[in-house]
Structure 1
Amino acid sequence: MNSDVEKLVESVFQNLLPEIQIKSIHPHDPVDVQNIPDCWELLGAGNYAAVLYHVNYSDYVVKIYAPTRPGFEEEVEVYRRLGSHPAFSECFFAKDGILILKRLYGITLYDCIQRGLRIPKQVMKDIDKALEYARSRNLYPHDIHGRNVMMYHGRGLVVDISDFLHQEKCSKWNNLKRGYYWFYRPIISPLKLRIPNFLLNAVRKIYRIATLVKKYIQQKLGIGK
């Protein structure tokens, strides 16, 4: 552990944790984050955890799991298997639901579509290669959607690897690629369309419902057993 990480760990336990409040109200909605102390900035909030950074240590992020939310031990194991790879973050500290990770800079593909920013094919290729690397490390890329992958200087990054131990089949990335090649590249990108947030959220919710319905029907019909 280098000196910057040691100082950051000290700040987390002395300044951040005594003040911040992270609550998970519903497992399918982002956690609620309140009382962020000075010198700390919120980068994002997922369904199980919040991600922040300290202004004096901006090359690292601190991921804090909400109380009672699962997945911390699994995420630590995923980072152990991944090691160091340019398309993934890297873990430098893990304890009591807290991870200190290498910060990945960029913009999510979800936000690119919302803002009308062009997503080159190289981004999709980089993500494909990164997921193949993860499979070579005995991992199972899971829950890869527009908010969990990013673009930085025209290259692709994978942000969230917390579910990479889940062995069940996940088609989110393949579905995203289909949307990219069938709809985004021929229509949205040339016209530089901006898709509003409410419409993207509506698509996300419809996709989730359709996935649950499909899974229920498959279970009833005994498909996939």
Structure 2
Amino acid sequence: MNNYAGLAGSVVINPKDHKLIQYDASLALIGVGRSAYVFKINNTNHALKVFFPSYQHLAKVEADVYKIIQHIDYFPSLYESGSHYLVIDFIDGYTLFECLSRGIPVSENHIKDVDMAINLAREEGLNPSDIHLRNIIIHNGKIKMIDVARFKQGETDHQWNDLKTAFYRLYTKSFFPKKIPAFMMNWIAVLYKRFYRKSPIHIK
């Protein structure tokens, strides 16, 4: 029997600065975001997402979203959730951010797959939001979307539409570089949030 709760409990995060203090040896740190650390559970195809102390309420929110979209192949499966953690599929691949920074081609089919995933989630009564380059992964040629907590927010988020516009107006053009430095994309993201995401996002 998998002791996911025990593994999640082994993860110690400083509540003041969110620095990772310790975690079980059977976990491999694979990422950190604005609200959580993500680990691959060794010898499995599962990932453990442990939320920072001040963001633990998002564990239930995100788990509830995953339960709604379990049947949609564009999203990982949820295996367990607790007060401050989730266990989902480990998705092996590159995010769109990594694709652009490494010069890995992003095709129109990938963009259409994201649109399909969004539309299918909307059919379930959700409001897909906070969709950006780091939470879209190309896995075996197909896309998988992660970090779905904000699919329950009330406000309309135009971020994906803006990214899609940039894809067709710039990326698809022959003159546009297909490899973009990470620092440049980070700088653009900061400016975008400053000028287009002035109001806080509220989750229903």
TM-score (norm 2): 0.88
Q: Does 1:64 align with 2:50?
A: yes
Return the letter of the residue paired with 1:127.
V
1:161 positional shift: 0.8
Q: Secondary structure at the match of 2:74?
A: coil
Q: Which moved more, 1:70-79 or 1:134-143?
A: 70-79
Cα separation, partners in 2 of 1:111 and 1:188, compared to 1, 3 Å? farther
8 Å Cα contact 2:60/2:83 also seen in 1: no
TM-score calculated relative to the size of structure 1 = 0.80
Establish whether residue 196 from structure 1 lines up as the match of residue 181 from structure 2.
Answer: yes
Per the alignment, residue 196 of structure 2 pairs with: 211
Counterparts of 1:122 and 1:23 in 2: how far apart (Å)?
Answer: 42
| Separation in 1, partners of 2:12, 2:167 | 37
**Which 5+ residue runs of structure 1 have no aligned equivalent?**
1-5, 217-225
Deviation sequence 1:98-154 (CA, Å, 0-9, x none):
111122222100111111110111111111101101001111100001011111232
Cα contact 1:119–1:154 (8 A) shared by 2 = no
Q: Residue 117 of structure 1 corresponds to which residue in structure 2?
A: 104
Q: Which of 3, 7, 21 does residue 12 from structure 2 map onto?
A: 21
Amino acid at match of 2:52: A
Structure 1 counterpart SS, 2:173: helix
- Partner Cα distance (2:118, 2:16) in 1: 31
Residues 59-88 of structure 1, C-alpha deviation per residue, up to 9 Å, x if partnerless?
111111111213122112111211222110
1:141–1:164 Cα contact (<8 Å) kept = yes
Equivalent in the alignment of 1:145: 132
Amino acid at match of 1:7: N
Match of 1:223 in 2: none
Does residue 7 (structure 1) correspond to residue 2 (structure 2)? The answer is yes
Secondary structure, in 3 states, of the residue corresponding to 2:88? strand
Sequence identity percentage: 25
Matched pairs, number: 199
**Distance apart, 1:24 and its partner CA:** 6.2
RMSD across aligned C-alpha pairs, in angstroms? Answer: 2.1
Equivalent AA in structure 2 for residue 67 of structure 1: P
